[in-house]
Amino acid sequence: MKKLIIIALLLAAGNANASGWEFSQRADPMTDAVKSYATVESIEKGGMLAARCMNNEFDVLYISDGQYFPEESFVVTVRVDKEKPIKLPANGIGAKILFMSTPAILADMAKKGNKLLIGVTAYSENSSKVRAFSLKGATAAITKVEAACK
């Protein structure tokens, strides 16, 4: 089921682009439940960041082209503009998708700057892979997703 959800998310991300965040909603044809997404592709087109509301639950997902190398758990380093980087916990499904354990923290960070950097240790390279995301339109798009979960 999670793979179907991710496929739907990737299809919804068809509107995502490197220049800014996009908001979309889709109704599940089987249940009529509305799913809301805010997505953006990384500036160098190697990853995607998405906020979603599904079953009244707010999530933030990071999807990348690398495979992740977990130690005890995933730790994602996040930095907005020139602020001090912080480390946030995440949970993985598959080798390319991370669910942020504290989605509200990352969502709030994304509303407060121009550029967001996310760094994760990639298994295939055994080194940190950093992706940059534009925050243009993030506040409006993420706020719509959060509102859909209330």
| Cβ 76 vs Cβ 66: under 8 Å | no
Is the pLDDT at 143 greater than 90? The verdict is yes
* Amino acid in position 77: T
Residue 111's domain is classified under what CATH number?
2.60.40.1880
> Structurally, how many domains does the chain consist of?
1
Give the residue from 112, 148, 144, 126 showing the smallest Cα distance to 38. Answer: 144
Q: Would you say how long the chain is, in residues? A: 150
Is the pLDDT at 7 greater than 50? The verdict is no
| Cβ 102 vs Cβ 88: under 8 Å | yes
Is the pLDDT at 118 greater than 90? The verdict is yes
Is the pLDDT at 4 greater than 50? The verdict is no
pTM above 0.85, yes or no: no
Residues of the domain holding 6: 2-148
Is the pLDDT at 17 greater than 50? The verdict is no
pLDDT of residue 8: 46
